[in-house]
């Protein structure tokens, strides 16, 4: 059985989704989870794109072990040297360089001939190969490139030192039959000289289908993202590719190195960090993926689960969570449970998280793993706090104008403010804006329950914008108004750090 390499580009292509940018600490958190998930290659970013991207790739290269760390670079000398500088300390590293090959791109964007594009691609692959042993080349917009020219480019870059050739469907244009034939032609031409990779976009909803067609025809690597996030309509969804191969081994005769029990945790981490919710009916990780309402389906499931479930929820880590801790639990048990969930916190972070846990335990009878993950994720991705919530009380009713009385710590001073609003959240946000003297615009407000029940932990995500800078903030609490206040304050802290 063939093992298909999983090249995860959540931190590079996925981050290009509008509003999905991550800070460096969040990227490291995601990269470490991707290692637990078992991905083979992590594309950590585009080092030449910005100082922030360079720093993120460099820190991931230094701090994250267990996967090949890749950096993207255009077929330009400065890009490739920047990628090497960011990656050089990684035990396993790859430079991924690219140049367009379609006549549309060459004529209208790059304004170069086919011959010049081929020459530049070969020269830059040679440069990358002189710096690292592992080089990948992508002929961008390959699916709108004439096959004879595409084959010439692929052969030339392999000869120049590329050990992986990635065939991107950059604009999501191709179809499974067409793409399968293209990969077959490339495989027949190059044999085993290099690994054939595919990178499919989802503009027509065919990214996963096209990637599977490529696997059938000889591709050995798939480039994909968690939850399928990415530019425009997104990328090939990692969890869908992986579970297709796992569930239908009989058909594809292929599998991956992915630890599928980490899928749901990784999906939820990406949702929390990016603020991009997963649609309920999304395959594998959607809230309804293993939910059954039809009476006929329920009857069959009660008799035999295989009647209507082709995968087990447990296979993706979605098993029923057990009560793990309560208000009488001690610090040691709390720390052990966090380690079981995959969190490695410093002593200071554990102390802070434990205090939050005790506070939650006084408010909530049953504490589940999801509650702990939501609570601890605040601590893991913590940023310097200029503003912090001290106290909040709300008065509201049918005949009472919503009023918020807020105490906020600003640096080392506690400031109090009372404001009225159209609703309790509006009153709270007006009080926060008044104290902090900020003039941000609320672009997005989302609320969801972390677990079930009337005492569920509520998680609020907001996106605010000020002076052209947009940031997301998250907050969790059993009181949804308090969670909303925490989310807004978290966003203001991020904004303040970014301004600095």
Question: At 412, which CATH number?
Answer: 3.30.160.270
Residue 341: count other Cβ atoms within 10 Å of its Cβ.
14
Whether 375 and 406 map to the same domain: the answer is no
Mean pLDDT lowest among 128-137, 346-355, 426-435: 346-355
Q: Does the pLDDT value for residue 293 go beyond 50? A: no
Task: Give pLDDT tens digits for 451-486.
Answer: 777 777 888 888 888 877 778 888 888 888 998 999
Residues 214, 76 within the same domain: yes
| Cβ partners under 8 Å of residue 386, min gap 6 | 410, 411, 492, 493, 496
> What's the pLDDT tens digit per position in 246-286?
999 999 999 999 999 999 999 989 988 887 888 889 999 98
Same domain, 137 and 258: yes
Between 273 and 319, where is the model more confident? 273
Q: The domain spanning residue 125 has which CATH number?
A: 3.20.20.70
Q: Is the pLDDT of residue 301 over 50?
A: no
| 207 found inside a domain | yes
Here the tokens at position 57 are: 């790739």
Q: Are residues 230 and 337 in the same domain?
A: no
Residue whose C-alpha is closest to residue 430's, from 458, 392, 477: 392
Q: Indicate if the pLDDT at residue 297 is higher than 90.
A: no
Cα(482)–Cα(500) distance, rounded to whole angstroms?
27
Alpha carbon distance 56, 60 (integer Å): 6
- Please report the pLDDT score of residue 322 as a whole number: 52
The length of the chain is 500
Convert the pLDDT of each residue in 338-353 to its tens digit.
Answer: 777 777 778 888 888 8
Residues 6+ apart with CB under 8 A from 70: 7, 41, 42, 43, 44, 87, 93, 94, 95, 96, 136
Structure tokens at 479: 């009181």
pTM check: above 0.85? no
Please state, rounded to an integer, the average pLDDT across all residues of the chain: 89
Examine residue 366 and state whether it is found in any structural domain, yes or no: yes
Tally of domains in the chain: 4
Domain assignment present for residue 280? The answer is no
**Residue 279 is assigned to a structural domain of this protein:** no
- Same-domain status, 363 and 414: no
Residue 326 lies in a domain: no
My answer on whether 359 and 464 are in the same domain is no
Q: Is residue 150 part of a domain?
A: yes
Mark whether 375 and 414 lie in a shared domain. no
- Whether residues 359 and 420 fall in one domain: no
Residue 323 in any domain: the answer is no
Q: Are 450 and 303 in the same domain? A: no
State phi, psi for 283 to the nearest 5 degrees: -60, 145
pLDDT, position 71: 98
Distance between CA 28 and CA 430 in Å, rounded? Answer: 34
**374 and 401 co-located in one domain:** no
Mean pLDDT of 406-411: 90
Give the pLDDT confidence score for residue 382 in this predicted structure.
66
Of 316, 350, 366, the position where a domain reaches its end is 316
In this structure, the answer to whether residues 460 and 481 fall within a common structural domain is yes
Which tens digit of pLDDT belongs to each residue from 187-231? 999 999 999 999 999 999 999 999 999 999 999 999 999 999 999
Is residue 191 included in any domain, yes or no?
A: yes
Range of the domain at 301: 290-316
pLDDT of residue 381: 62
| Co-location of 242 and 364 in the same domain | no
**pLDDT for 153 beyond 80:** yes
Is pLDDT of 409 > 80?
A: yes
CA–CA dist 226, 406 (Å, integer): 38
């Amino acid at each position: 059985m063939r093992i298909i390499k999983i090249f995860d580009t959540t931190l590079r292509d996925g981050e290009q989704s509008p509003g999905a940018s991550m800070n460096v600490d969040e990227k490291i958190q995601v990269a470490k989870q991707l290692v637990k998930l078992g991905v083979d290659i992590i594309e950590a970013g585009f080092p030449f794109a910005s100082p922030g991207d360079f720093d993120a790739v460099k820190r991931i290269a230094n701090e994250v072990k267990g996967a090949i760390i890749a950096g993207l670079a255009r077929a330009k000398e400065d890009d490739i040297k920047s990628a090497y500088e960011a990656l050089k300390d990684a035990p396993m590293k790859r430079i991924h360089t690219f140049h367009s090959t379609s006549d549309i791109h060459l004529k209208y964007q790059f304004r170069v001939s086919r011959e010049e594009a081929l020459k530049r691609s070969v020269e830059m692959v040679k440069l990358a190969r002189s710096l690292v042993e592992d080089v990948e080349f992508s002929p961008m917009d390959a699916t709108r490139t004439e096959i004879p020219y595409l084959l010439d480019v692929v052969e030339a870059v392999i000869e120049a030192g590329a050990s992986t050739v990635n065939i991107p469907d950059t604009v999501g244009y191709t179809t499974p039959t067409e793409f399968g034939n293209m990969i077959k032609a490339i495989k027949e031409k190059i044999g085993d000289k290099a690994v054939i990779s595919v990178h499919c976009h989802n503009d027509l909803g065919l990214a996963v289908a096209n990637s599977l067609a490529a696997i059938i025809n000889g591709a050995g690597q798939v480039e994909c993202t968690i939850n399928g996030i990415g530019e425009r309509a997104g990328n090939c969804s990692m969890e869908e590719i992986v579970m297709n191969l796992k569930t239908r081994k009989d058909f594809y005769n292929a599998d991956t190195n992915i630890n599928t029990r980490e899928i749901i945790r990784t999906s939820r981490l990406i949702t929390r960090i990016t603020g991009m919710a997963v649609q309920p009916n999304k395959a594998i990780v959607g809230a309804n993926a293993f939910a059954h309402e039809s009476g006929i389906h329920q009857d069959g499931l009660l008799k035999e689960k295989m009647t209507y479930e082709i995968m087990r929820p447990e296979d993706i880590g979605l098993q029923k969570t057990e009560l793990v801790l309560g208000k009488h639990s001690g610090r040691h048990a709390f720390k052990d449970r966090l380690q079981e969930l995959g969190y490695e916190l410093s002593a200071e972070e554990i102390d802070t998280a434990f205090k939050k846990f005790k506070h939650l335990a006084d408010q909530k009878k049953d504490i589940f793993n999801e509650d702990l993950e939501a609570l601890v994720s605040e601590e893991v991705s913590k940023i310097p706090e200029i503003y912090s919530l001290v106290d909040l009380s709300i008065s509201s009713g049918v005949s009472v104008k919503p009023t918020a009385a807020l105490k906020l710590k600003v640096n080392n001073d506690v400031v109090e403010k009372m404001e009225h609003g159209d609703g309790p959240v509006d009153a709270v946000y007006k009080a926060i804006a008044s104290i902090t003297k900020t003039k941000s615009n609320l672009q997005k407000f989302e609320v969801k329950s972390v677990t079930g029940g009337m005492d569920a932990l509520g998680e609020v995500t907001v996106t605010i914008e000020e002076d052209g800078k947009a940031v997301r903030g998250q907050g969790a609490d059993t009181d949804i108004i308090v969670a909303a206040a925490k989310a807004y304050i978290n966003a203001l802290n991020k904004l303040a750090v970014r301004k600095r």
